[in-house]
Amino acid sequence: MKEALTKWCSTKSNKANIKYLAYGKTTEGNNRHDHVFFILEDQVDVMRKPFVKIKGVDMKINFSPFTRLDAFDGSYLSVIEYIKNQGKHHNTKSSFEEYGNLKTTKGCKVSDSINEKALRMTSKVEAIAYLRNVNPSWVMNNEKKFGEMYDKQHSRDKRHRINIKLSQWKETNSVVQGARAWLHTIETIDIKKPPALVIVSDTKHGKTEFINDLLKDKQVDEFRGRIMVDSHEESREYDYSLFDDANLCSIEWEDFESHNIY
C-alpha cells in the first residue's frame, strides 16, 4: 500500500515521500475494505484519476476530508485509533499495519516555523486543523487573527472560474472585442479614474458567463442585485468589483466615482 500510494503521489519531477502511514483493513465478510491514513513529508499537487494498482488489482481511492468534519478534535491520533479498530467497528476480523513513527506535537508551542507552514497551506480549513493538532488552546485564542493573516496572504491567489460556452459571446462579437479592449487598457495603462464597463442586454443572454470568462484569472469581489462600494472582506485585495443584475437607477454616481470602482 505504501509503495502504491507513493507512486500515485509522485510526478516525473517530484518524488513523494511518505513520512507516516497507518493501514487497517477488514479481512472477512462482504464489506471488506481498507482504511489508510498517511502523511507526506512535503505537500504535492496531483492531477490524476484516484486509482492505484495493488498486487495486480486496480483499487479506487476515496479521499475523506476528515479535518473538515465536526467530530474531528484536531488530533490525528483519534483517526489512527479508528483505523486500528476496524474489527470492532464492523464486527469482523481485521488487520493493521503501521509505517514510521508519528511524533505528536499536541501541546507544543506554535513556533514561527509552524505558523509559516500553516500559512503556506492551500486550504484555510486544513491550516487551522493542522494548528489545532499542534496546540488546541492556541487556536482557541488566535483563530480569528490567524484567519485574517491567511486571507491577506492568499488574497492574490488565482481562483478557478468557469469558461465561456455560449456561442453569442464568440470573439467576433463587438461587445466581446470592446470588453477585452477595456480590460487590456485597464491592465496596461495607468489611469487615475478608470472607466466602468457596463454590459446591458435582455435576460438569459449569458452576460454573467461572459464576464466570468473575461475575469477568470482576476480577484473579483462579486455582488448580485445591488451596488456596494464596500468590499466583502477588507483584508483581501480585489482587482475588480462585479455588480451582476444590478439596477443602474440605484447607483449613487458621486459615491461610485469617489471610490474608483471599475
* Under 8 Å between Cβ of 215 and 240: yes
What does the pLDDT read at residue 169?
A: 75
Query: Which residue shows C-alpha cell 463587438?
Result: 174
- Secondary structure of residue 66 in the 3-state scheme: helix
How confident is the model over 32-90, as pLDDT tens digits? 888 898 888 887 777 778 888 888 888 888 887 776 666 666 667 778 888 888 888 88
* Cβ-based neighbour number of residue 147 at 10 Å: 14
HSE on the CB side for 118, CA within 13 Å?
26
Closest to 111 (Cα-Cα) out of 142, 77, 134:
134
User: Rounded to two decimals, what is the model's pTM?
Assistant: 0.46
For residues 131 and 117, what is the distance between their CA atoms, to the nearest angstrom?
A: 10
Query: Which residue shows C-alpha cell 479508528?
Result: 82
Average pLDDT over residues 159-182: 71
Q: What are the backbone dihedrals phi and psi of residue 167, each rounded to the nearest 5 degrees, phi first?
A: -65, -30
* Under 8 Å between Cβ of 201 and 220: no
Question: 250: which DSSP letter?
Answer: G
Whether residue 165 is predicted with pLDDT greater than 60 in this model: the reply is: no
Closest to 96 (Cα-Cα) out of 105, 104, 87:
87
**Cα maximum dimension of the chain:** 73
H-helix segments, 43-197 = 76-84, 86-90, 112-120, 124-134, 136-153, 174-188
Secondary element (H or E) of residue 253: helix 253-258
What does the pLDDT read at residue 23?
A: 92
